[in-house]
Amino acid sequence: MTTQIVVVGSGYAGAGAVKAFEDEVGEGEAELTWISEHDYHLVLHEVHRAIRNPAVEDNKSPESAFVQGRVVDVDVDDRVVETDDGTTVDYDYLLLAVGSTTAFFGIEGLEEHAHQLKGLDDAKAIHEDIRSAAAEATRSDPVEVIVGGAGLSGIQTAGEIAEYRDKHRAPIEITLVEGLDEIFPNNDPQIQGALRQRVEDADIDIRTGDFISEADEDTVYLGGGEDEAPDELGYDVLIWTGGITGQPEIEDVDVEKDERSHRVHAGSDFTTSDDRVFAIGDTALVEQGDDDVAPPTAQAAWQAAEVAGENLARAARGAPLKSWTHEDKGTVISVGEEAVAHDVMGMPIQTFGGTPAKLLKKAIATRWIAKVSSTGRGVSAFGDM
Ligand SMILES: Cc1cc2nc3c(=O)[nH]c(=O)nc-3n(C[C@H](O)[C@H](O)[C@H](O)COP(=O)(O)OP(=O)(O)OC[C@H]3O[C@@H](n4cnc5c(N)ncnc54)[C@H](O)[C@@H]3O)c2cc1C
């Protein structure tokens, strides 16, 4: 019987791996079933764009057999995957590429009151809340928007809201809250400074150095301790982008995982503690030498997918697996229509902004869409980015 491969997830990791598998596999060597909750590939690293304009989305019709559904159970003994409508799919080799979900770190009231941004529906809900609040607001009583967490997603989210505010001349005040001492924490001070400047130029208040300790229906509480009252920030719309954790369905899958985040431990060839299960992208902590793992970025997932897809075909034919090393090709971050690029491979300047950075940001997304769908779709998507 032909070897059955199952890939779960149609993000960067899943879509890229399916494509790489299809390119690698020989005639009759293996069959692939692709399972995902959506029958489209969302360019998640550009999903903040949909806050400003919810029409930005991209559809993908896969070549492999496709099952639409959310995977709710994986039985590694019987090698079967089950979706939320009870469909079961058997596998010989399984690739888990289900991404991550938002970590709320047990902060009281945060999950209940904050929007998260992990998909198109989230972006649409944020857009709708801001739009309806702005319709009621005045210059003297503007909409207060707080974005918690100033990593890649928080900075870009705040930038999109500022762009919406300016385009619609809406009375909106935006505050970007970061618990650590600088925005885009744990990164080079040069890119931190360049981003801070663009965020401030976009008239976004930055508040660093205090963690959100609690949230209720109209107030965010910052810091505070035994003898100290927390600072209070009132809000109308609250968005939390402060961390990621594993998808809940993965928690019970019998492979070794990080205890706290239940992200799956994977080797640099994407194998896990179960020799029939591979894991990749945000789902996994992919080993990269001593005590290091690949970062949870689109860039890393995209690179890893090339090797993971090939490894699925290799596993099917009993060939040795390839090892993957993450190569940091630089960072490009948007703040609305502005962008900052840093350490970009082949560029003589370490940190730059302006038109070159903006074009680079668009080109990265376009190149990706062209890769997983068709070149024509990629080119036509360029204007949407
Ligand atoms: C707002 C925002 C901005 C970002 N900006 C950048 C950036 O500028 N640069 C960068 O490199 N990275 C960026 N990132 C991070 C990047 O988007 C992620 O690291 C990347 O999406 C991870 O890819 P993935 O394929 O592992 O997961 P995802 O892209 O999240 O894909 C997961 C897939 O699995 C599906 N799925 C989930 N659970 C199930 C289930 N139980 N059953 C079936 N299907 C399931 C989902 O529908 C989805 O198709 C950003 C992220 C966000 C949220």
**Residues 256-289: pLDDT tens digits?**
999 999 999 999 999 999 999 999 999 999 999 8
198, 203, 209, 215 alpha-carbon torsion, rounded to 10°: -130
pLDDT-derived band at 177, boundaries 50, 70, 90: very high
Beta carbons of 142 and 106 less than 8 angstroms apart? no
Query: How far, in Å, CA of 178 to CA of 222, rounded?
Result: 10
Sign of CA dihedral 188, 193, 194, 198: positive
The pLDDT, as a whole number, for residue 55 is 57
By percentage, how much of the chain surpasses pLDDT 90?
Answer: 74
Under DSSP, the state recorded for 253 is: S
Nearest ligand 1 atom, CA 12: 25
Nearest ligand 1 atom, CA 15: 25
Q: The whole model's pTM is what? A: 0.90
pLDDT-derived band at 226, boundaries 50, 70, 90: confident
Q: How far is the CA of 318 from the centre of ligand 1 (A)?
A: 30
Query: How far, in Å, CA of 311 to CA of 321, rounded?
Result: 5
Residue nearest to atom 51 of ligand 1 (CA): 45
For range 311-328, the mean pLDDT: 96
Nearest ligand 1 atom, CA 14: 25
Mutational test site, ligand 1, from 117, 120, 297, 329, max ligand atoms within 8 Å of CB: 297
What would the pLDDT profile of 53-83 be if each residue is shown by its tens digit?
A: 665 544 444 467 999 999 999 999 999 999 9
Element (H, E) at 351: strand 351-352
Under DSSP, the state recorded for 9 is: -
Q: How far is the CA of 13 from the centre of ligand 1 (A)?
A: 8
Query: How far, in Å, CA of 100 to CA of 177, rounded?
Result: 22
pLDDT-derived band at 379, boundaries 50, 70, 90: very low
Beta strands in 267-374 (DSSP E): 277-279, 284-286, 331-335, 338-342, 351-352
Beta strands in 160-203 (DSSP E): 172-178
* Strand 172-178 with 143-148, pairing: parallel
The pLDDT, as a whole number, for residue 373 is 60
Is the pLDDT assigned to residue 341 strictly greater than 70? yes
The pLDDT, as a whole number, for residue 69 is 96
Under DSSP, the state recorded for 348 is: S
Is the pLDDT assigned to residue 363 strictly greater than 50? yes
Average pLDDT taken over every residue of the chain = 90
Query: How far, in Å, CA of 95 to CA of 5, rounded?
Result: 8
Q: How far is the CA of 346 from the centre of ligand 1 (A)?
A: 27
The pLDDT, as a whole number, for residue 266 is 98
The pLDDT, as a whole number, for residue 352 is 87
Cβ < 6 A, ligand 1 pocket: 8-14, 35-38, 44-45, 47-48, 70-71, 97-99, 117-118, 152-153, 156-157, 247, 249, 281-283, 296-299, 301, 333
Which range, of 179-183, 192-196, 198-202, 371-375, averages the lowest pLDDT? 371-375
Which of left, alpha, beta for 11 (phi over 0: left; psi -120 to 50: alpha)? beta
Which of residues 119 and 312 earns the better pLDDT score?
312
Mutational test site, ligand 1, from 44, 263, 342, max ligand atoms within 8 Å of CB: 44
* One-letter identity of residue 3: T
Is the pLDDT assigned to residue 321 strictly greater than 90? yes
Which range, of 138-147, 184-193, 243-252, 345-354, averages the lowest pLDDT? 345-354
The pLDDT, as a whole number, for residue 382 is 41
Q: How far is the CA of 83 from the centre of ligand 1 (A)?
A: 19
Is the pLDDT assigned to residue 45 strictly greater than 80? no
If one counts every other C-beta atom within 10 angstroms of the C-beta of residue 135, the result is: 10
